[in-house]
Amino acid sequence: MALVHSAGPLWSRSRPALLRKVVRHCLFRTIITGGKGTKLEMFPQKLVLPENHGYVPTLSPREISMLLTTNEARFMNDGHWSSAVQGFESNQLASNYPIEDRRAVAQLTQTDGSLFSVIDGHGGMACAQAVTERLFYYVAASLLPYQHLEAYSHSLRTDLPIELLGWHKFNNAYRRDPVPPTYRNSLTKFVVESLSLSGLEDDVDLVANSIKSAFIGLDSDISSEAMPVAGVFDVDALDAAFSGACVCMAHVSGLDLHVANSGDSRAVIGQLNDKGQWVAKRMSVDQNVDNEAEVKRVVSSHPPAEARHVLKNSRLLGQLVPLRAFGDVRFKWSLQELKNLVNLLDTTYVHSIVPTNYYTPPYLIATPDVMHHRLTPADRFLVMATDGIWETMSNSRVVQLVGEYIEGKETHDHFKPTDSGTKLGEINSVLLKRKATLARKADDHNVSTHLIRHALGADHGKVSEMLTLPADIVRYYRDDMTIVVVYFDSEYIASHQ
Amino acid sequence: MHRLIRYTERLCLRRRSGASALLKNANRRLTCNITKRHSSTEQFGSAVLPESARVVICGGGVVGTSLAYHLTLLGWSDVVLLEQGSLTCGTTWHAAGQVTRLRWSAVETALTMYSTELYQQLEDEGYHTGWKKCGSINVARTDDRLLAYKRALVNAKPLGIEGQILSPEQVKDRIPMLRTDDIKGGIWLPDDGVVNPTDLTMALAKKAREGGVKIVERCKVQRVQTENDMVSAVVTDQGSIACKFFVNCAGQWAWELGQLCDQPVRVPLHPCAHFYLVTKPFGDINPMMPVVRDFDGYIYLREWGGGILGGGFEPMGKPVFHDGIPPKFEFELLNEDWDQFQILLEQLLHRLPGLQAAEVKQFVNGPESFTPDGRYILGHAPEVGNYYVAAGMNATGVMAAGGVGKAMAEWIVNGETDMFLWSQDVRRFAELHNNKKFLRARVKETTGATMSCAGPDIEYESGRGVRTSPLYTRLQNSGAIFGQIIGFEPALYFDSPSVLMDTFSETRDERQAAHSSFGKPAWFDQVKAEYWACREGVCLIDMSTFTKFELMSAGNEVVDFLQYVCSNDIDKPIGSIMHTGMQNHSGGFENDCSIVRLAHNKFFMIGPTAQQIRSFAWLKRHLPKDGSVQLNDVTSMYTSINVIGPKARQLLTELTDTPLDKNNFPSMTYKEIDVAQASQVKAMRLTHTGEDGWMLYIPSEYALHVYDSLMAAGKNYGIRNAGYYALRALRMEKFFAYWGTDLTPQVTPIECGRESRVKFHIGGFIGCPALLHQRSTGIKKRLAQFLLEDHDTEEDTWPWGGEPIYRNGKFCGTVTSTTYGFTLDRHVCMGYVQDFDEKTGEPNIITNDFVLRNAKYTIDIAGKRFSVKSGIYPPTLVSAAIVIGSG
């Protein structure tokens, strides 16, 4: 959740009570119908006692590991398919109940590409959920060459559309079932539009532009699906459009890595330089008020008279921390559109829905900045994480932790001289190298868990304290955290350079 | 011990086989690998389990077979040895097989010396042991280490050890491939060698079989049955066997086997991984290359099949099998762990650079058992009357097995040993030592300690603060440095607060660095101050570690019992305190203690700390069978504070209403008194040092109050804490001998000048006939006090015990204990004077005149002889005021 920095929980400030109810209602429905992945019991609230008990339990090491490892995910390529991606590890820790963060990983069936994404929802989870389920289809479609897109377009009209994605299933994920028909309708429309625009794009970076158009396309669909038609509105669509989501997405194909970022999640490459040091290479720039270019963009797209209102208290219109996001149509729709909706719901809330000084919408866009990087053997991994992690640790700290974790992991296996002819001197030098990394051997079996543990605190007591904060204040201390670490296969990269 | 020496001397004369046989042996091994040999079953066939035997030995490793063989030598042939797998299959088969004669302590040296002679003898008799007398060289990287070698060599010389200190160049001459540019020198031990542990065990087994021993393999002990605290039978998977004696030689299984007894027996050991590797043949390695030990690098090296066998004991070992040894662990090794081995590999490559290019033939990681103090676990289990233990060999089982087998056989057959084996005695352990968590923490350290030279007061760091006095934290805050006796932690001395507070002053390590490990210790000035405070003012010494028993009965039974076990008359008026020995049947000191008569039928016994388990077992074994005498160990119930010094009486008078003057509260008497607001404090006017003062035995719940009250009231008396080092200085200067060092089961009261404490006029106590006999025939050793004459306290190596004493240039005994005497202003040593016959080597009868007349004594400290003044009566100590005035 993006707003925690200075002001506290977002939905108590920027959302009308009724919408909150609507959201709660939808949310429950989603959870109840969600089937397998709901996992309500995975957040053991009973560990947290009311403050007036005067006793805060200290979690046992085992309890902490249980809490931290519930959402672990891991997949290793192990030569299944030819790719620069060796595999990934991921984990999530909830602060909101239920968690508003999402993550998505999928392989593209039509190319060698794969997609990774961390999604940070705010004002509820509906938008983040919608983006999680839908964005990759938009991206996959817009990445298709014309003929393939055409074929896909055709298949969408059949009962068995071509499956563009091989999803990684996370154990705590849930999907809406049945999928609302609007999803498919909107996607079909998007595909048709893409077909008509095909060939018109600037060829400088086809992939970047395709990703951009996918982001824009999905956001506009989320927005338009929520528009009341003839006085009737779709509660689910409304819920998705009125909540928001920051998205950071990576696409790896061949040796090309694209990272598209909309909001304040972040992606960083971990490189091992010639001197054996771990170096962080930034692959996205947070779009918030700390980002000068972004501030300039926002201010310049509105009349100068608005300059002092557009960004107030380091927030968009004094309310929203990220300067780009999916959903959040309160910052996108025209004043009239918002008022119409308010009339339909309940007139008393008009002022809370429409931000003050709302003159020249849209104030918010979902268009991502896309950064491209050609992978080299020095690139060992990519860390993507929501701002819950970056608030506590710098890029270089994260890269250092992951790098040392990998080195430590290499010594998990017992050393055995492979060749019987190995000289003792050689064995000793290998052992000496291992020795340096043995000390770094981490207890966690998943690097994301390792990162979360470090984000929470240096020692057991601190971690326990962070995990036992009462539900009503936990968000002041820690945000939802979602991490995806993508490992690169440096041998593959070296041989394909 | 001297019987042993004589035996080894005889052996020396007998052997001297040609070098050709040695070379033949060496060649035989060219093809050999560390691997299991034919099980003995294939060679001999396993015996059928008999219904009964005099002795049942459990464990078919090198120790068990050696014991079986030595029992036959003493004429006991009704012996059955049980082995759960086949002989050597546990850990013997993967031993590296090095045998050295020189160990850090004289006892271990004597044991391994006998082993070397035995192995040579077996080889000469045609039993293959793989014995190869290649000698060994221990290299030293520091002057301190070289001094430790010199010291060990000098101290062991009277035992007949041959050895020579070498310069780095001389080391290089003997082993050219060795790196020597970083060493200070080495020690050459020509009579050392190596064996093949499997061959050796098979030879011992064959010898034992020839002597009538039945060896039953594939026979697993399931239970050791007891009746009336005695083993009655051993239940195995092949049936039951009745026995008169049971011996646990189960090696790394000994802990578990101890638990299988109806009355569990403590055998505190824990397996640790032990690593070595064998290279493929390389270079031109001389089969007779001496074994190399580099203690500073924790490693050893020997020739093996044309290559090198190199291993060691890393500073922090790796405990294994904490949750039990897997079943059927026969001829098995542990997984390779090269990462753990790296620290040793590095040092092997450093010492023998030629190894860099060598290739590995075999990497061996086998478990070895280690004990809490790195010493063996031998002797008579305190829990069960006829249960013996020989285990915990700390990876030196092969070199120890010969001597251990012999000593254990004597122990079982005679009930006592010739050697003073207290340092290896199973009774030195309390229950905490058998705790597996403690063991796991401690053996990490003892693994490495195998290679450390152990200065005089090295303490372990793990397993500390487990068993402490209620005053522990108070003393700790006052800067106490604690030691550990039977797991209990007394303050040895107090690092003065100014030293602790001032960050610019030297640390203890820095202070010690100014001297060698065997030189003037870092605590000298602190102990000196404590000593003088005890002699001139008033001090508190927390003596809670001392063993405390209560004995009582309804009628007079307890008096009769104590008169039977004590050599002094304890039937004295209520309130009396008696010093008494408890003698064994040879008249030797089983214990030395103070007995307080609390009531006509109730006594309180105070004994040395280390005696807690041992003396309890001794008393329990002799209690009347009708249960009329009750014996309780109350060590943990009381906190003991020694209020010591000439001002003790004034101080204590402030805190109690009981009159404390000499008439009302004479020395060596007891009263129950109030101290400050606490009651029921047992006060005894004695300090165990000859100084005036009181021992207060305080029920532990009052301990802090009493201590704090004494400290508060004592402020105006300059009160301070003192530790056991000061206590030792006070005691030894006055020629108070101490059990465990000066008084042993091999020493009688007559030999140490305590005849006056023996109730010859009453008699009827254990050992009385032996003492009467000795009184009429004369003694063969006499305890004497020696004052070092021309010793430079600052520069010279200090005596620490074990140093040889020469009378008119002829070896006459060994220093048993030492201290610096601050009043006498010189070192004080105690030791026994003997007169060894020129021809037989037997000690002759001696008189006081022999000790005192026409005798010039010297003591050899690490190769330098110092003349000493001797005495057999306590010296007159001038009062400190005069010393201060004149000095």
* Cβ contacts of B884 within 8 Å, gap of 6 or more: none
pLDDT average, residue stretch B693-703 = 97
Q: Where are the domains of chain A?
A: 2-495
Task: Note the ipTM here.
Answer: 0.80
What are B340-354's pLDDT values in tens digits?
Answer: 999 999 999 999 999
Chain B residues near residue A429 by CB distance under 8 angstroms: none
Measured between CA atoms, how close is A429 to chain B, in angstroms? 9
Chain B residues near residue A411 by CB distance under 8 angstroms: 339
pLDDT category at B562 given cuts 50, 70, 90 is: very high
Measured between CA atoms, how close is B372 to chain A, in angstroms? 27
Query: What pTM was estimated for this model as a whole?
Result: 0.84
Measured between CA atoms, how close is B335 to chain A, in angstroms? 9
Count of CB pairs separated by less than 8 Å, A with B = 56
Least confident of A64-68, B403-407, B450-454, B747-751: B450-454
Q: What is the per-residue pLDDT for A50?
A: 55
B454/B145 Cα distance (integer angstroms): 10
CA angle (A98 as vertex; A97, A100 as ends), nearest 5? 105
B716/B537 Cα distance (integer angstroms): 11
Least confident of B88-92, B505-509, B669-673: B505-509
Q: Cβ B357–A427 below 8 Å, yes or no?
A: no
Q: Which residue has the higher pLDDT, B881 or B242?
A: B242
Residue of chain A minimizing CA distance to B357: A423
Segment holding A85, helix H or strand E: strand A85-93
Chain A residues near residue B345 by CB distance under 8 angstroms: 424, 427-428, 431
Q: Is B615 on the interface with A (CB under 8 A)?
A: no
Backbone angles phi, psi at A380, to 5 degrees: -105, -30
* Cβ contacts of B155 within 8 Å, gap of 6 or more: B106, B802, B803, B804, B814
Q: Cβ A431–B356 below 8 Å, yes or no?
A: no
Q: Cβ A434–B346 below 8 Å, yes or no?
A: no
pLDDT at B29 over 80: no
pLDDT at B505 over 60: no
Q: Residue B576 carries which DSSP code?
A: B
Q: In this prediction, what percent of chain B has a pLDDT beyond 90?
A: 83
Backbone angles phi, psi at B281, to 5 degrees: -55, 140
Q: What is the per-residue pLDDT for B38?
A: 47
The correct answer on CATH 3.40.50.800 for the domain covering A2-495 is no
Q: Which of A340-354, A417-431, B387-401, B510-524 shows the highest mean pLDDT?
A: B387-401
pLDDT at B3 over 50: no
Beta pairing class for B810-821 and B804-807: antiparallel
- The 3-state DSSP class for residue A109 equals coil
Residue pair A485/A447 in contact (Cβ under 8 Å)? The answer is: yes
Two structure tokens written together for B640? 């003991």
Window 248-307 of B: residues touching A by CB (8 A cutoff) are: 277, 279
Domains delineated in chain B? 1-132+191-272+324-340+361-454 (3.50.50.60), 778-879 (2.40.30.110)
Q: Residue A320 carries which DSSP code?
A: B
Chain B residues near residue A414 by CB distance under 8 angstroms: 335-339
Q: What is the per-residue pLDDT for A351?
A: 61
Q: What is the per-residue pLDDT for B9?
A: 39
CA A70 to mean position of chain CA atoms: 18
Residue pair A317/A363 in contact (Cβ under 8 Å)? The answer is: yes
Q: Residue B93 carries which DSSP code?
A: G
Q: Cβ B339–A411 below 8 Å, yes or no?
A: yes
How many of the other CB atoms lie within 10 Å of CB of B8? 19
B279/B663 Cα distance (integer angstroms): 79
Question: From chain A, which residues contact B within 8 Å (Cβ)?
Answer: 411, 414-417, 420-425, 427-428, 431-432, 434-435, 438
Q: Cβ B338–A427 below 8 Å, yes or no?
A: yes
- The 3-state DSSP class for residue B183 equals coil
Interface test with A, best of B179, B308, B356, B361 (most A CBs within 10 A): B356
Q: Cβ B342–A416 below 8 Å, yes or no?
A: no
The strand pairing partners of B302, in sequence order, are B309
Q: Is B316 on the interface with A (CB under 8 A)?
A: no
Q: Cβ A417–B338 below 8 Å, yes or no?
A: yes
CA-based nearest residue to A137, from A114, A165, A159, A110: A165
Start-to-end CA distance of chain A, whole Å, equals 39
pLDDT average, residue stretch B190-202 = 94
Residue pair B219/B249 in contact (Cβ under 8 Å)? The answer is: no
Backbone angles phi, psi at A221, to 5 degrees: -65, -45
* Cβ contacts of A336 within 8 Å, gap of 6 or more: none
Measured between CA atoms, how close is A39 to chain B, in angstroms? 37
Beta pairing class for B214-216 and B79-82: parallel
Start-to-end CA distance of chain B, whole Å, equals 44
Q: Cβ B355–A424 below 8 Å, yes or no?
A: yes
How many of the other CB atoms lie within 10 Å of CB of A231? 8
pLDDT at B726 over 80: yes
Q: What is the per-residue pLDDT for B708?
A: 98
What are B31-65's pLDDT values in tens digits?
Answer: 345 555 544 444 566 789 999 999 999 999 999 99
Burial class (CB in 10 A: 0-12, 13-18, 19+), B833: buried
Measured between CA atoms, how close is B94 to chain A, in angstroms? 20
The strand pairing partners of B857, in sequence order, are B807, B868
What are B435-444's pLDDT values in tens digits?
Answer: 999 999 999 9
User: Is the peptide bond preceding residue A178 cis, with omega within 30 degrees of 0?
Assistant: yes
Burial class (CB in 10 A: 0-12, 13-18, 19+), A195: middle
pLDDT average, residue stretch B86-112 = 90
Q: Which residue has the higher pLDDT, B388 or A1?
A: B388
Q: What is the per-residue pLDDT for A32?
A: 31
- Provide the residue type at B233 as one letter: A
Q: In whole numbers, what is the pLDDT of chain B averaged over residues?
A: 90
Residues B853-875 as b or e (16 or more Cβ within 10 Å = b): eeeebbbbbbeebbebebeeeeb
Q: What is the per-residue pLDDT for B490?
A: 96
Per-residue confidence of chain A (497 residues) as pLDDT tens digits?
A: 333 333 333 333 333 443 444 433 333 333 333 333 333 333 444 445 555 667 777 888 888 999 999 999 999 987 777 899 999 999 999 998 789 999 999 999 999 999 999 999 998 899 999 999 999 999 999 999 888 999 999 999 898 899 999 999 998 887 888 888 999 999 999 999 998 887 665 566 889 999 999 999 999 999 999 998 888 888 889 999 999 999 999 999 999 999 999 999 999 999 999 998 999 999 999 999 999 999 999 999 999 999 888 999 889 999 999 999 999 999 999 999 988 888 887 656 556 788 889 999 999 999 999 999 999 999 999 999 999 999 999 999 999 999 989 888 777 677 888 766 789 999 998 888 888 777 777 778 899 999 999 999 878 889 998 988 887 788 888 999 999 999 999 999 999 98
Q: Which residue has the higher pLDDT, A370 or B873?
A: A370
Residues B619-653 as b or e (16 or more Cβ within 10 Å = b): beeebeeeeebebebebeebbbbbbbbbbbbebbe
Q: What is the per-residue pLDDT for B508?
A: 63
Chain A residues near residue B356 by CB distance under 8 angstroms: 423-425
Residue of chain B minimizing CA distance to A421: B359
pLDDT at B261 over 50: yes
Q: Cβ A435–B337 below 8 Å, yes or no?
A: no
A342/B309 Cα distance (integer angstroms): 88
Interface test with A, best of B335, B336, B342 (most A CBs within 10 A): B342
Measured between CA atoms, how close is B498 to chain A, in angstroms? 35
The strand pairing partners of B380, in sequence order, are B388
Measured between CA atoms, how close is B336 to chain A, in angstroms? 7
pLDDT average, residue stretch B197-213 = 96
Residue of chain B minimizing CA distance to A424: B356
pLDDT category at B878 given cuts 50, 70, 90 is: low
Least confident of A408-412, B271-275, B421-425: A408-412
Residue pair B282/B354 in contact (Cβ under 8 Å)? The answer is: yes
Residue pair B66/B402 in contact (Cβ under 8 Å)? The answer is: yes
Burial class (CB in 10 A: 0-12, 13-18, 19+), B677: exposed
Q: Residue B374 carries which DSSP code?
A: S
**How far are the Cα atoms of A223, B687, B694 from residue B551, in angstroms, in the given order?**
94, 22, 22
Q: What is the per-residue pLDDT for B553?
A: 97
